[in-house]
Amino acid sequence: MIEDGRPLFLQIAEAIEDSILDGSLAEESQAPSTNELAAFYRINPATAAKGVAMLTDKGVLTKRRGIGMFVTAGARDLLLGERRTAFAERFIDPLLAEARTLGLGPDDLAALLRERAATSTEGNPA
């Protein structure tokens, strides 16, 4: 999970986000503590705490005094919205710019997407 080149606290925050998105960490359930994260990833607890604090600042996690950190209600929808926006900015916007350059309209793009989706799933049962 730990990659070179990216700050560890960001990777910890993203791992927690991924767990929320895939449902393995449900809304209103208790999140791993900073000490648990530090032990699991073999990192400094302060680094894990920085990742958790980032998610707290975003409203994904909330602290319940004396109990621990919990996933907030609505966290999954919040994260999905953020990821969709990032996806559009990273992939869709450049795609649209290139499509305009090539003279492709929305219907042309939709047809290309359907064609590519059909060929990319051939031999890969869903």
pLDDT at 121: 73
The residues near 17 (Cβ < 8 Å, ≥ 6 apart) are 55, 60, 79
Instruction: Kindly indicate the confidence band of residue 3, based on its pLDDT and cuts at 50, 70 and 90.
Output: confident
pLDDT at 113: 93
The pTM is what?
0.81
pLDDT tens, 69-81?
Answer: 999 999 999 999 9
Residue 95 to residue 29: CA distance in whole angstroms: 38
Lowest-confidence range among 4-8, 40-44, 122-126? 122-126
Here the tokens at position 7 are: 């700050």
Here the tokens at position 112 are: 């290309």
Here the tokens at position 8 are: 């560890």
Q: What are phi and psi of 63, to 5 degrees?
A: -95, 130
